[in-house]
Chains A and B, each alone.
Chain A
Amino acid sequence: MSPRARIALLVLAGLVLLPGTGAVIAGLPPFGSTIAQYGERINAITPQVRHVANMVSAINFDLRGLDTLGEEFMLLAAITGTVVLLRGRRGEGNTERAMRRPGRAVIPRSDTVVLVCRIAGPLTALFGLYVVLHATVTPGGGFQGGVILASATLLIYLGEGYAGWRDTVRSHWLDAMEGGGALLFTLCGLAPMLTGAAFMQNVLPLGTFRDVFSGGLMLVENLGVALAVTGGFTQLFLEFMEETRAADEPDEPGEESA
């Protein structure tokens, strides 16, 4: 199809959809006037019945925990697909060492970059841990904290170089974290059934409102999500980074010095 015909088709489809879209937008409640009844009820009830201050975490890990389980496996499937596609040609044998592309210049890092990364890296990791652990109290949770933790490992790459980063970050550990996190979440769903409760029913003691240890089973699920997200995203970084180093010629893996 020529580009011109495609634009014409797009405009035509847009014109067909326009009346319906207009009607839907006009039928929506005016912005900022009211919220859905479901959210209203959750805000009113959940702090008392679950002893949790963060409603978003309560929805993700308890009220709609089953949906998060599905999302967790979507995450797992997408990351597995990415890793399989990227690793396909390289094979798994080379993943233990930092590959180096022959002939590529190794650019030394300035002392300032190293210093800043050594200071900011641990602080970022600490902040990520804080965000993960306070999922039920303040804004945060396993998804957000996991991404921050994964970004903290990138600061190691920035400061210590690729070989240093690969010494810190082990591919097999990341696989284990990713799969183990998803497994932990699934077990959190199945374990209550052993006691006769429903799937993912919150059977653990709920703890004190506004305390780090509040929310019962949510804390374990949150930990599983944090593990899976940290492992998964770091694995993505690692595989993309390795891809930039895969030689077109037969590989000559070696250690990078910088």
Chain B
Amino acid sequence: MSMLPYAVAAWLFGIGLYGIATSRNFIHLVGCLGVCQSATYVLLLGLGYRWGSIAPIFYDHPPGTPAVDPVMQALVLTDIVVGATLTALLLVLTIQAYKRGGSLDPEKLRPMRAGGKSGRDPGPSRVSDAERSVS
């Protein structure tokens, strides 16, 4: 029982990694990365927990009451905020990849070439998009 939170963290990380490795869609991939990241929340909060302790806020309880580890909670807070903005950044990159390549499938991602022509044959609107951005 004492290993359960760590096992949950390992399982979350593993299943997220499996999702990333087998992903056929960028949005699904970003979601899987979020699952991997939630493993770090579970691990950090599990490390900082102690039975019978209060939250590290000494408003209702006098200072000196046994409290859980505040460092881990601060780390998780940081983790969540940075994770949220990075998810936004990755989703924007997804949008850009879709605009350039016309596909959300990581398998079909090709290097970008000069002139905005990707290796695949893009639809007519994609071509005009690319040309406009170059000019």
Using a CB–CB cutoff of 8 Å, the interface residues on chain A facing chain B are: 3, 6-7, 10, 14, 21, 25, 28, 30-36, 38-40, 42-44, 47-48, 53-56, 58-60, 64, 67-68, 71, 74-75, 78-79, 81-82, 85-86, 88-89, 137-139, 141, 143-144, 147, 210, 229, 232-233, 236, 240, 243, 248
How many A-B residue pairs lie within 8 Å, measured between CB atoms?
Answer: 149
Contacts of B58 in A (CB 8 A): 47, 53, 55
Check if B70 sits within 8 Å of A56, measured CB to CB: yes
Contacts of B48 in A (CB 8 A): 35-36, 39
Check if B5 sits within 8 Å of A56, measured CB to CB: no
Closest 6 CB pairs of A and B: A39-B69, A55-B70, A55-B56, A47-B63, A30-B2, A78-B85
Check if B92 sits within 8 Å of A85, measured CB to CB: yes
Contacts of A55 in B (CB 8 A): 56-58, 67, 70, 73
Contact with A along B85-104 (1 / 0, CB 8 A): 11011011101100000000
Contact of B89 among A44, A68, A78 (CB under 8 A): A78
Contacts of A59 in B (CB 8 A): 70-71, 74
Check if A229 sits within 8 Å of B81, measured CB to CB: yes
Give 22 CB contacts A-B under 8 Å: A10-B17, A31-B1, A35-B48, A39-B48, A39-B70, A39-B71, A42-B70, A47-B58, A53-B58, A56-B70, A56-B74, A56-B77, A58-B70, A59-B71, A59-B74, A79-B85, A82-B85, A86-B92, A139-B57, A141-B77, A240-B91, A248-B129
Contact with A along B21-32 (1 / 0, CB 8 A): 110000000000
B41 at interface (Cβ–Cβ under 8 A)?
Answer: no
